[in-house]
Structure 1
Amino acid sequence: MTNFLQASQNQERLNCQTYQKTDIKAGVIHLGVGAFHRAHQAVFFDRLLGQTSHAHWGIIGVNIRPQDSHLFEQLMAQDGEYVLKTISAAGKTEYNHIRSLVRQIDGAKTPEQVDDAMMDPSIQLVTSTVTEGGYYLDENHQLMLDHPAIKADLSGERQTLYAFLYSGLKRRSQSSAGNITLLCCDNLRHNGRLLKNGLMQFVQAMQDTQLATWLEKNVSFPCSMVDRITPKPNARHMDDVNTRFGLNDAMTVMGEDFIQWVVEDNFAGQKPPLETVGVQLVENVEPFEEAKIRILNAGHTCITYQAALKGFIYFDQAMKDAQLKQYFNDFIEQDVIPAIGESVVDLPSYAKTIAERFSNDNIGDTIERICSDGYAKFPVFVFPTLLANYQNGHTPSQTLKGIASWYCFLQAVEQGQIVFQYHDPSIAELSRFSNDQQGIDAFVSQPFLWGEIIDTYPQFKTDLTKAIMDFSKSLIR
């Protein structure tokens, strides 16, 4: 163990890989170092670094948002080290000292350092977690060129993922650093393809045909599926870690004991042997992706607004509510599994596991966190089930109820009836969904949210309008 977070007591309970951090070289850049990355990808690489001859797979952690600089400063002060606390549904707790973030760059302050790092030949992989809304793609997967952040980047600023990738990869293309893999780790269907699509459109908008040609020849964009419920960092867990081990860790992160990472085996350069530490390298990520996004992510999304309207604070409370627990089961059995059809994943068993994970009262995952960014989540998580059911001639009543709950939640937010602040980067778009017939019509006709369903299945607008009316009446009782 390094001496930065050297425990002064109970050292035997703080797990730590045996590698010497001074021996580690960086082979990965990660853009968007939030709690999820620190509880997920950083953990797998920490395990990898603990194996003989894999010391060149350390991570350079990069912050790209000015609003996160203050927190990132603390991570930098701790040399990228922190304690991960995991708790099982049965209450078994483990503590791990994670040290894989061997260097930190605040790209919001020193973007040129990110460029320098990306052109280093030792860097073979760039991973990213910037949330679903951080890709600025519309319902047709077209880059939102009129979005203020994208417009700013096209004029030379650094506000989005694309600007950092563009500048860094351009430098790399002009050197002899070689091929590189860009691995998206956000909850987007076909996330690798979407990242490529967005980046290539950005490069095209920059009128940089030379870089576009280089990217096609030298860069791969594998798809991946990531999974670990990771609540927003909580002072309670920080206090526990610091008291238990005699530390001063301000960056403690906590998550459930379950962890999964499925990656398409498509690497342009050197491939980290992640399969040796539990990562699944597969030819096709899609079956795993669909199961996770449609059951876990959509389950979260369709339940959380109902839970907020009932006044729950934590998601496990929602899963202990008889009505919402039954809703989850009905949503999965009636709408989701029939929409997915045949799968290499045992869907009923997987759904049972998800329900158990949702019910873990040791996690303390907040309704506020899960409610955030609904405008970006519904098209990604819920839309596929909605569309498949209409294609199959089935009215997805449970899915429609989940959507209706979001509309009613937005009205409650507007009226000051929700105890927490709703966070959504697209809040301006939501203002059109007013609490009247005009607002409902705008909601059920929004192409970004409901895409081709609006025109192909005209009954959808009638069905959703009725679901909103029915859900609104249920709130009055």
Structure 2
Amino acid sequence: MNVILHIGLGSFHRAHQAVYLQRLHDLGDTTWVLAGGNTRPDMAETIAALQASGGAYTLETISPQGEHVYERISSIRQVIPYSADLSGLIAQGAAPATKVISFTVTEAGYYIDAQNRLDLDTYADLRTDLALAREGKPGATIYGALTAILRARMASGAGPVTLLNCDNLRHNGDRSRSGLLQFIEHVGDSALLAWVQAHTTSPNAMVDRITPRPTAAVRERVLAATGVDDAAALMGESFIQWVIEDQFIAGRPAWERVGGEMVASVQAYEEAKIRLLNATHSCIAWAGTLVGYTFIHEGTLDPVIRQMAHDYVTDDAIPVLTPSPLDLPKYRDVVLDRFGNPAIADTNQRVAMDAFSKIPGMIAPTIRDNLARGRRFDSVAMLPALFLAYLQVWHRGGIAYTYQDQAMDPAVAHAICAADDPVAAYAADPVLWGDLAGDARLVDALRAAFTRVNAFVAAHRH
């Protein structure tokens, strides 16, 4: 039996990758199973519930038309308990049966700047892990964990392994691989560096399924529908997609039998998803928060916010992504229909987070592409302008929930908001804008967009 070790046993993995493997199991193909755990001591209650059930849990899916489906997922056969030394993850990762190591740690968990350099200056936890790795100890970041696992695998002679990124990160395989190799270089372990280069591959992949944080209401609905009181129950939308480059060094499940799309390059799919779905999601979350909404569907069903998102995609994103193997206007409309599904009850809090990595990753590229074509970019400029307005409310303590952002330095963010010219200070931030920081065309477009955002908030505040 072959094992996929998954790092980051959160809701998205359990509603996405685990489901694809379950579908293979349902067809009678049980040649691959999942083992999973976390590098940090979070999700303790969910992990305990999964351990008690042998890794099984109930997934509720809800379509935009309101159809509820309940499914028992049992493809995770080993739930690895957290320990600070990551001994369970390391042992499983070094086992010959493990052929794929996959991971979901959020976009901000890769610590890579706009030039694809590992940003050691900004992130203390990365520097901590580097010091630990030099002492031969594991760390909590994905690089600290993978370095420890791959060292053990190299030492045990367990053979090659595929490193499969399952996060919303452009060129996620290439970029996470680059970050890992840079990390190992900084550690100074030339033997491990050579081994990883020779014995691993890192396919790019595009993943998609809206998966809100589980609530008590999900558990109650699962109990009512199935009779099972499941503390690890979760919910997702009915839509699901996984596009993967077929570059597996030690074999893989037959995902193509169950809807997985195995391709030579994911780039066109990835760009469409990041710009037409992820960036639009953030637009709706920031705008909805500013006018008093709690949920994504509320903002999507607000005609002014929906039009703002529609205009961004239509005016500025689709023109720079054409030609494409996808029907981009149809994709845009499907995305907005998905976001308008009230049953998902996805929160603005979840989607609004991590803007300091989302703006450079999901929004700035569309600005750059329009600039390169000599085009105006008024509609996409609304998205970072919305976040600046959001940031100013946060600066005053006015956001109704805790804003989380791994890539943001709070002192820098407060300084931007307190500046005499916040728009200029915002446009000059290198974390957000890289080589565009301070560009007069960016400043002018943001200034005009920020005026429109303030007018929108004044007129639509609930």
Task: Give the TM-score range, shorter chain.
Answer: over 0.9
Cα distance, 1:154 vs structure 2: 1.3
The aligned amino acid for 2:441 is: Q
Give the partner amino acid of 2:454.
S
* 1:19-49: CA deviation from partner (whole Å, max 9, x where unpaired): xxxxxx4510000011111100000011122
Query: Partners of 2:83 and 2:275 in 1: how far apart?
Result: 34
CA contact (8 A) 1:108 1:158 kept: no
3-state SS of 2:416 partner: coil
Give the share of equivalent positions with the same residue, in percent: 34
Whether 1:417 and 2:398 are equivalent positions in the alignment is yes
User: Are the equivalent residues in 2 in contact too, given 1:32–1:130 (CA < 8 A)?
Assistant: yes
**Quick check: 2:423–2:446 contact (8 Å CA) kept in 1?**
no
- The one-character-per-residue Cα deviations of 1:304-359 (angstroms, maximum 9, x if unpaired) are 11111111111111111110111122111101101212111111111111111111
How many angstroms does 1:427 deviate by?
4.5
CA distance in 1, matches of 2:189, 2:14: 34
Counterpart check, 1:45 vs 2:21? yes
Distance 1:191 1:451 in 2: 19
How many residue pairs end up in the alignment? 451
How many Å apart are 1:288 and its aligned residue?
A: 0.5
> Given the alignment, which residue of 442, 445, 448 partners 1:460?
442
Give the distance between the partners of 2:98 and 2:247, measured in 1 at CA. Answer: 16
**2:388 alignment partner in structure 1:** 407
Stretch deviating more after TM superposition (208-217 or 69-78): 69-78
Q: Provide the C-alpha distance between the structure 2 equivalents of 1:349 and 1:108, rounded to a whole number of angstroms.
A: 46
The 1:344–1:296 alpha-carbon spacing in structure 2 relative to 1, beyond 3 Å, is: same
Aligned to 1:94, the other structure's residue is in SS state strand
Q: For 2:409 and 2:458, how far apart are their aligned partners in 1?
A: 26
Match of 1:8 in 2: none
The code of the aligned residue for 2:117 comes to Q
Match of 1:35 among 11, 19, 30: 11
Question: Equivalences for 1:43-122 in 2 at 5 Å?
Answer: 43-52=19-28, 54-122=29-97
Whether contact under 8 Å (1:31, 1:126) holds in the other structure is: yes
The answer as to 2:274 corresponding to 1:293 is yes
Between the aligned partners of 2:82 and 2:175, the Cα distance in structure 1 is: 23
Q: Deviations over 1:115-134 (max 9, x none)?
A: 11111111110111100011
User: What SS does the corresponding residue of 1:155 show, helix, strand or coil?
Assistant: helix
| Paired residue type of 1:442 | A
Greater CA deviation, 355-364 or 428-437?
428-437
Q: How far off is 1:466 after superposition?
A: 3.0
Residue 292 of structure 2 aligns with which residue?
A: 311
Query: Is 1:337 paired with 2:318?
Result: yes
What secondary structure sits across from 1:319 in the alignment? helix
- Matched with 1:245 is 226
Matched residue type, 2:223: N
1:273 alignment partner in structure 2: 254
Output aligned runs, 1:330-369, within 5 Å: 330-369=311-350
Alignment of 1:146-185 (within 5 A): 146=121, 147-156=123-132, 157-185=138-166
Quote how far apart the aligned CAs of 1:386 are. 1.2
Unaligned runs of 5+ in 2: 133-137
Deviation of the 1:178 alpha carbon: 1.1
Q: What is the CA distance between 1:474 and its match in structure 2?
A: 4.0
Q: Structure 1 residue aligned with 2:202, among 202, 221, 226?
A: 221
Q: Does 1:205 align with 2:181?
A: no
Alignment pair present for 1:374 and 2:350: no
Amino acid at match of 2:33: G
After superposition, residues 247-266 of structure 1 pair within 5 angstroms as 247-266=228-247
> Which of the numbers 431, 434, 456 marks the counterpart of 1:448?
431
Deviation at 1:226, TM superposition (A): 0.4
Deviation digits for residues 363-383 of structure 1 (CA, Å, limit 9, x no counterpart): 111111111111111111111
String of CA shifts for 1:222-263, please: whole Å, max 9, x gaps: 000000111111111110111332222011110111100000
Is the contact between residue 423 and residue 443 of structure 2 (CA under 8 Å) also seen in structure 1? Answer: no
Q: How does 1:122-161 map to 2 (within 5 A)?
A: 122-146=97-121, 147-156=123-132, 157-161=138-142
Q: Aligned equivalents of 2:457 and 2:60: distance in 1?
A: 38
Counterpart amino acid of 2:193?
A: A
Matches of 1:476 and 1:277, distance apart in 2: 48
2:243 aligns to what SS in structure 1?
strand
Contact 1:309 1:409 in 2 (8 A): yes
Any idea what SS the aligned residue of 2:315 has? helix
Q: Deviations over 1:268-290 (max 9, x none)?
A: 11122111111000001001101
Name the amino acid aligned to 2:298: Q
Q: Secondary structure at the match of 1:334?
A: helix
Contact preservation (8 Å) 1:301, 1:378: no
| Superposed displacement of residue 108, structure 1 | 4.1
Provide the C-alpha distance between the structure 2 equivalents of 1:145 and 1:413, rounded to a whole number of angstroms. Answer: 27
CA distance in 2, matches of 1:103, 1:26: 13
CA distance in 2, matches of 1:70, 1:136: 28
Q: Secondary structure at the match of 1:432?
A: helix
Q: How big is the shift at 1:411?
A: 1.0
Number of the residue aligned with 1:19: none
Counterpart position of 2:457: 475
Q: 2:67 and 2:285 mapped to 1: Cα distance? A: 26
Give, in angstroms, the shift of residue 473 of structure 1: 4.3
Q: Supply the AA of the counterpart residue of 2:205.
A: S
Task: Supply the distance in 2 between the matched residues of 1:93 and 1:470 (Cα, whole angstroms).
Answer: 40
For residues 95-136 of structure 1, what are the alpha-carbon distances to aligned partners after superposition, in whole Å with 9 as ceiling and x for unaligned?
000011110113444512211111111111011110001111
Q: Deviations over 1:137-190 (max 9, x none)?
A: 122221122321111111215120111110111111122211110010100110
Which letter does structure 1 place at the counterpart of 2:69? E
Give the 3 Å change call, closer, same or farther, for CA 352–470 of structure 1 in structure 2. Answer: closer
* Whole-angstrom distance in 1 between the partners of 2:284 and 2:246: 34
AA aligned opposite 1:437:
D
| Alpha-carbon distance in 2 for matches of 1:257, 1:175 | 42
What is residue 21 of structure 1 aligned with on the other side? none
Letter in 2 for 1:449: L
- SS class of match (2:415): coil
Task: Select the residue among 429, 432, 437 that pairs with 2:420.
Answer: 437
Q: Cα RMSD between the aligned structures? A: 1.6
Deviation at 1:417, TM superposition (A): 2.4
